[in-house]
Amino acid sequence: MKTRLKIVAYSKRAKWVIYPTAILVMINFIVFVVGSVYLGGDALNGYVQAGHYFLCAHGHCTEVSSATWHYSYWHAYASMGGILLMFGEVALFLNLGDIEWK
């Protein structure tokens, strides 16, 4: 028999921090995914070779400008950083007792 943990209550402070962060992280991640589909991949899967910049996804690569490649590179890290920020906030508020689990 599995025991499921549920969040019972949030403090007002936790709500004021976690909810806006979650909304911004979700929007940023969705923009990253849509941008990657539009551009034909992302820089983390892509590469730079002889001054040519490529974004790759699922075995297909698209040549782009240096500015586009660097945008994709930093947007990918910003998206991952946002997700890590959410985990960090939840861990912090769990330790502070602002989030109660049952």
Boundaries of every domain in the chain: 10-96
Rounded to two decimals, the pTM is: 0.84
| Cα Rg of the chain (Å, integer) | 19
Alpha-carbon distance of 49 to 42, in angstroms, equals 15
Q: Which residues pair with 58 in a beta bridge?
A: none
Q: What is the pLDDT of residues 35-70, one digit of tens each?
A: 999 999 999 999 999 999 999 999 999 999 999 999
Give 27 or 101, the one with higher predicted confidence.
27
Across 62-87, average pLDDT: 96
Q: Is the dihedral of CA 68, 64, 46, 57 positive or negative?
A: positive
